[in-house]
Amino acid sequence: QGAAMTAAGQIVNCTFAGNGTNEYASGVAVTLAAGTFRNNIVWGNIDCVTELSPGAAAAAYNCFPGAAGANDVSTNPLYKNAVDGDYRLLGSSPCRNSGDTTIWTGAANTCDLAGNPRVKHGAVDMGCYETLADSNTILIIR
């Protein structure tokens, strides 16, 4: 399995992608009795089943195929280059500024996987990377 969690705990702002498995296991399995599963992206796993059964866990603001929660995203998160393992989000990603910011309020470590600020302009992205300005953005100052 690419990831598995079955008891309690916190899985926050993670990206599960590129996991593969044989026919007898899940690529990503989350079955929480309690805990938090929030602001995660589970997308782009290879030939595997994704099992998400959050139970009584605080599960919301996640992106995965078939997501049906009010604050979930069920469409492609638009990685920059998943083929080469670049799971940063494009500026047009539906996961950009779509996460739950409250989970980061007062947090000691508010950086993403690359060391960039997690909360920007009062919003947080889903997944492990916070989107920076696109490299094709042109700023004209007069």
Q: Which pLDDT tens digit goes with each residue over 129-138?
A: 999 865 555 6
Q: Which pLDDT tens digit goes with each residue over 94-122?
A: 999 999 998 887 766 689 999 998 888 78
Q: List the single range of 54-58, 61-65, 70-74 with lowest mean pLDDT.
A: 54-58
Cα dihedral 109, 110, 115, 119, rounded to 10, equals 180
Contact between residue 7 and residue 33 where contact means Cβ atoms under 8 Å apart: yes
**Is the pLDDT assigned to residue 34 strictly greater than 90?**
no
**Is the pLDDT assigned to residue 41 strictly greater than 60?**
yes
Six token digits for residue 121:
């302009």
**Is the pLDDT assigned to residue 126 strictly greater than 90?**
yes
**Is the pLDDT assigned to residue 75 strictly greater than 80?**
yes
Six token digits for residue 55:
């139970």
Model confidence at 78, pLDDT cuts 50, 70, 90, reads: very high
The string of DSSP codes covering 16-78 is: E-S-B--TTSEEEEEE-SSSEEES-EE---BS-EEEEE-TTSEEES-B-TT--STT-B-S---
What is the rounded end-to-end Cα distance, in angstroms, of the chain? 54
